[in-house]
Amino acid sequence: MWTWDDVDKYGLYGLTKQYPHLVQFLESIEGLHGKPMMSYCYFMFQRIVEMHRVLKPTGSIYLHCDPTASHYLKLVMDSVFGQKNFLNEIVWGYRTGGASKKWFGRKHDIILSYSVKIRSHIFNLMKERSYCSNNQPPGFKGVEKWKDEFGRWYTMASMRDVWEIDAIGRSSSERTGYPTQKPLELLRRIIKASSNEGDLVLDPFCGCATTCVAAEELGRKWIGIDVSEKAGELVMDRLHNIGLIHNLPAITNIVPTLANPVSKGKAKPILYAEQNGRCNHCGESEALDKRAYWHVDHIVPKKRGGQDQMSNYQLLCMGCNNRKSSMPDEWARAELQRVRDLVARNTFSRAS
Ligand SMILES: C[S@@+](CC[C@H](N)C(=O)[O-])C[C@H]1O[C@@H](n2cnc3c(N)ncnc32)[C@H](O)[C@@H]1O
Ligand SMILES: [Zn+2]
């Protein structure tokens, strides 16, 4: 079960300012659905923001979720990527075993796709069979038609957003034993539609590397990330077994340092100007040369991978900085509450 500990509260602090209305919505999920769902959505929100940051204008994102969370995540996607960049809500239907007698079999997942910039994104139109009614050949002139092995007539139409693809069954030859493994065909379809040969595909929750394998087969470059050690081992094994990787690189766990770090001394006057001479938390002001008063603070602490970059700095007064370091989690939570109150008072203007 997801808990508030899964959320990076420090990172959230910056996001509350950027997405006040979304934060207000995410806060309300606790009352609508419960704390685990709220925590999960916050967790996803932070990652979706990063995906948006690294996605090229030609790229698309596909977010795979189950129907218990897809409606909440769609709001997150709409906020971060923009409603106008929405591409599809794909329904992936499958036929796994087990179903309730009290409702229809829950046999589909949702895949939400968005571009960063609509119309700049790559889309390779795909076709699928469209069967003609009454088994008659289509009456329209100039429409190409075919007969399948059972004598049924079909034409080729643009692929719809409803996909019937077999899930990984017990006897599937693809099966790795990874519990949430997805079929290669699903990833092949996504990768073919939204990238070209030589492009780079990123799966930040790659599990047993289905995306990586499909990308490699299709001549794309790829990056796979997963938090589970089991996944790390499986990725290597799977790629090795099918001959895609010959020399296994060592697992390093090194967080790369970004180029051109900015010193706190350099950052201080810039932040002072950006924040109009006010503490970024309480809003108090004081002259810049009052040395003990101002502290340049890492929004994401260095021990959590935060870097010496302007985007990760803020200027705090001494009091706020001391409070933040003595009770960091509570401080971040209080900051969320503060933004929520500001939103409730309509202090933020609505995003255009
Ligand atoms: C639904 S599975 C993805 C399955 C994958 N498509 C496949 O075919 O194997 C989600 C994955 O996210 C990983 N995960 C969970 N939390 C994570 C985190 N904080 N960072 C990276 N990966 C995470 C899990 O270990 C799991 O492998
Ligand atoms: Zn302050």
pLDDT over 80 (residue 13): no
Pocket mutation for ligand 1, best pick of 226, 253, 304 (most atoms within 8 Å of C-beta) = 226
pLDDT over 80 (residue 123): yes
Does residue 23 contact residue 15 with C-beta atoms inside 8 Å? Answer: yes
CATH fold of 4-115+164-241: Rossmann fold (3.40.50)
Q: Is the CB of 225 under 6 A from ligand 1?
A: yes
pLDDT recorded at residue 254: 60
Does residue 136 contact residue 145 with C-beta atoms inside 8 Å? Answer: no
Which ligand is nearest the CA of 65, by number? 1
* Lowest mean pLDDT across 13-22, 25-34, 191-200: 13-22
Residue with the smallest CA separation from ligand 1 atom 18 is 227
User: Helix 35-54 to helix 70-81 angle, to the nearest 10 degrees?
Assistant: 30
In terms of CATH architecture, what is 264-344? Answer: Orthogonal Bundle (1.10)
CA 176 to ligand 1: nearest atom:
9
State how beta strands 200-203 and 221-224 pair.
parallel
Which ligand is nearest the CA of 228, by number? 1
pLDDT over 50 (residue 349): no
* Lowest mean pLDDT across 114-118, 207-211, 242-246: 242-246
Q: Report the separation in Å between the CA atom of 238 and the middle of ligand 1, taken as the mean of its atom positions.
A: 16
Cα 70 to Cα 89: distance, rounded to the nearest angstrom: 10
pLDDT confidence tier of residue 340, bands split at 50, 70 and 90 = low
**Spacing of C-alpha 348 from chain mean position:** 25
pLDDT digits (tens, 9 = 90+) for 129-182: 998 877 777 777 778 889 899 888 899 999 999 999 999 988 888 998 888 999
pLDDT over 50 (residue 350): no
Would you kindly state where each structural domain of the chain is located, as residue ranges?
A: 4-115+164-241, 124-163, 264-344
Which residues, at least 6 apart from 294, have a Cβ–Cβ distance to it below 8 Å?
268, 272, 286, 288, 315, 316, 317, 318
pLDDT over 70 (residue 217): yes
Which residues, at least 6 apart from 232, have a Cβ–Cβ distance to it below 8 Å?
226, 251
Residue with the smallest CA separation from ligand 1 atom 1 is 180
- pLDDT mean across residues, the chain: 88
pLDDT recorded at residue 255: 62
State how beta strands 153-158 and 146-147 pair.
antiparallel
Residue type, 269: P
pLDDT over 80 (residue 77): yes
HSE, side-chain direction, 13 A CA sphere, residue 135: 5
Task: Please give the structure tokens belonging to residue 344.
Answer: 């409730």
pLDDT confidence tier of residue 264, bands split at 50, 70 and 90 = very high
Most confident range (mean pLDDT) of 67-81, 120-134, 308-322 is: 67-81
pLDDT over 60 (residue 235): yes
pLDDT confidence tier of residue 347, bands split at 50, 70 and 90 = low
pLDDT over 70 (residue 289): yes
Pocket mutation for ligand 1, best pick of 70, 180, 188, 238 (most atoms within 8 Å of C-beta) = 180
pLDDT recorded at residue 352: 35
Look at the pTM and tell me if it is higher than 0.85.
no
